[in-house]
């Protein structure tokens, strides 16, 4: 087994694995399970500081994104797709699949979305049914400030769909304050449960917009309206993955009971960036650094694959490259959830120091030392 230090899936704590082995009920027929599911959704909402309702969906994180788009989009709808990363742009596909007309607002992939520039655009065009944006665009590690962007979109009457799959919990989210429409999350990132569950948190405005549609949703599995009155009617649109939800509940409690969770993420991210920079490596982004993933450009004379293979074979640690436009361009260190522990990240830097030395990449500093020193500072 490798030590997975990737930006999702992340390591899973033993109490989450054990929770997944609890006895299984029939989730369609057991009244206690409906209550259990409801309480788990409420725990999720409370951790996002919102009164909005949440739903847990049986499917990978992507299902949350697709379900939000499927349920909001009607043929011909104009949808603003905020694009400063691979996932940002990817939303256009979901909009198109469900008959909408995506309008891309494309910005610098190395910088967080600039609210002033966006507002200049919105002044000239704000006739959109909703907008999509990504909280942390994981392939580049780009963090967009949803606490500013969602209110800005609201000011122009545009509901927001936020992909926070790789940011949620690693970044503090005050969903009610920021006024996001639908926030999407997944089990396998900072929550540190295994992959398999997605969740959506739906504001009353988003609820109203979904229910105002005239045409049927062109999907069954991705139709959020299929959950209407699930609790009153004791009925789910499909059989819920009981064991996954037991695990999720344990993982949510881990986050709830860990008072230092967000601070630890912020500190580890800051110190990781310091170590990378001190060594003379180049952080991929210019602005928009996330608490959950650190991304640096591949230095001269070596390939991403060589670094990743060396770290895996030599130190048993799995790091990630990237994909799409960033294929082969960067290395990503995932320090979210159970990965966000000082000792684990110190081991990552130890492994990188060794691998880069063997591969003949000169470094200006020993990253592990910088990491440990600055952590204690
Ligand atoms: C991980 C992730 C998802 C879920 O997608 P998978 O590739 O299926 O894991 C969605 N959005 C973002 C930003 C993610 O990091």
pLDDT tens-place string over residues 159-183: 999 999 999 999 999 999 999 999 9
Do residues 298 and 282 lie in contact, with contact meaning Cβ atoms separated by under 8 Å? no
- Burial tier of 109 (Cβ tally within 10 Å: 0-12, 13-18, 19+): buried
70: Cβ–Cβ under 8 A, 6 or more apart, which residues?
A: 94, 97, 98, 217, 218, 219, 222, 223, 224
The secondary structure element, H or E, covering residue 315 is helix 304-315
pLDDT of residue 377: 81
For a substitution probing ligand 1, which of 6, 10, 59, 61 has the most ligand atoms within 8 Å of its CB?
61
Q: How many helices (H) and strands (E) does the chain have?
A: 14, 13
Q: Fold match between 14-257 and 261-376?
A: no
Do residues 103 and 128 lie in contact, with contact meaning Cβ atoms separated by under 8 Å? yes
Nearest to 21 by CA among 244, 263, 323: 244
- CA 372 to ligand 1 center in whole angstroms: 30
Copy the structure tokens of residue 193: 């449960």
State which ligand 1 atom lies nearest to the alpha carbon of 87: 13
Domain spans in the chain, listed from the N-terminal domain onward: 14-257, 261-376
With tokens 């969740």, the residue in question is 199
- CA 279 to ligand 1 center in whole angstroms: 30
Q: Which of the four CATH numbers 3.40.640.10, 3.40.718.10, 3.90.1150.10, 3.40.630.30 does domain 261-376 have?
A: 3.90.1150.10
**CATH code, residues 14-257:** 3.40.640.10
- CA 196 to ligand 1 center in whole angstroms: 12
Q: How many alpha carbons fall within 13 Å on the CB side of residue 96? A: 9
- Burial tier of 62 (Cβ tally within 10 Å: 0-12, 13-18, 19+): middle
- CA 62 to ligand 1 center in whole angstroms: 6
Copy the structure tokens of residue 118: 């966006």
Residue minimizing CA distance to atom 11 of ligand 1: 165
- CA 363 to ligand 1 center in whole angstroms: 32
Residue 139's CB is within 10 A of a number of other CB atoms, namely 28
> DSSP 3-state helix, strand, coil percentages of the chain (rounded to 5)?
45, 15, 40
Phi, psi of 28 (to 5 degrees): -80, -30
Do residues 220 and 67 lie in contact, with contact meaning Cβ atoms separated by under 8 Å? no
Residues of the chain with pLDDT under 50: none
For a substitution probing ligand 1, which of 86, 163, 295 has the most ligand atoms within 8 Å of its CB?
163
Phi, psi of 82 (to 5 degrees): -80, 120
For a substitution probing ligand 1, which of 136, 165, 292 has the most ligand atoms within 8 Å of its CB?
165
Query: Which residues line ligand 1 at a C-beta cut-off of 6 Å?
Result: 8, 60-62, 87, 134, 137-138, 163, 165-166, 186, 189
- CA 370 to ligand 1 center in whole angstroms: 31
């Amino acid at each position: 087994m490798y030590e997975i230090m990737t930006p999702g899936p992340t390591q899973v704590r033993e109490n989450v694995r054990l929770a997944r082995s609890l006895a299984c009920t029939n989730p369609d027929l057991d009244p206690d399970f409906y209550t259990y599911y409801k309480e788990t959704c409420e725990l999720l909402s409370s951790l996002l500081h919102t009164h909005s309702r949440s739903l847990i969906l049986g499917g990978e994180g992507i299902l949350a994104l697709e379900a939000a788009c499927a349920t909001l989009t009607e043929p011909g709808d104009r949808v603003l797709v905020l694009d400063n990363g691979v996932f940002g742009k990817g939303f256009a596909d979901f909009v198109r699949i469900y008959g909408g007309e995506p309008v891309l607002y494309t910005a610098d992939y190395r910088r967080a979305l600039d609210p002033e520039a966006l507002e200049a655009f919105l002044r000239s065009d704000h006739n959109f049914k909703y907008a999509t944006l990504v909280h942390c665009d994981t392939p580049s590690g780009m963090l967009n400030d949803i606490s500013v962007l969602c209110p800005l979109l609201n000011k122009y009457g545009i509901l927001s769909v936020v992909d926070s799959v790789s940011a949620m919990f690693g970044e503090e989210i005050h969903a009610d304050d920021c006024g996001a429409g639908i926030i999407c999350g997944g089990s396998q990132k900072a929550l540190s449960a295994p992959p398999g569950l997605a969740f959506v948190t739906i504001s009353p405005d988003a609820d109203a917009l979904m229910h105002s549609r005239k045409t049927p949703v062109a999907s069954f599995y991705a139709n959020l309206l299929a959950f209407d009155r699930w609790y009153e009617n004791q009925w789910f649109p499909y059989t819920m993955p009981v064991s996954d939800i037991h695990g999720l509940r344990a993982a949510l409690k881990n986050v709830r009971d860990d008072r230092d969770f967000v601070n630890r993420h912020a500190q580890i991210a800051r110190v990781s960036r310091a170590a990378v920079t001190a060594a003379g490596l180049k952080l991929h982004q210019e602005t928009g650094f996330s608490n959950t993933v650190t991304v640096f450009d591949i230095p001269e004379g070596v390939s991403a694959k060589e670094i990743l293979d060396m770290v895996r074979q030599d130190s048993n640690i799995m790091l990630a490259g990237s994909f799409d436009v960033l294929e082969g361009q960067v290395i990503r260190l995932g320090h979210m959830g159970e990965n966000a522990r000082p000792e684990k990240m110190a081991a990552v830097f130890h492994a990188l120091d060794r691998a880069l030395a063997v591969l003949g990449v000169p470094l200006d500093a020993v990253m592990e030392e910088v990491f440990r020193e600055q952590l204690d500072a």
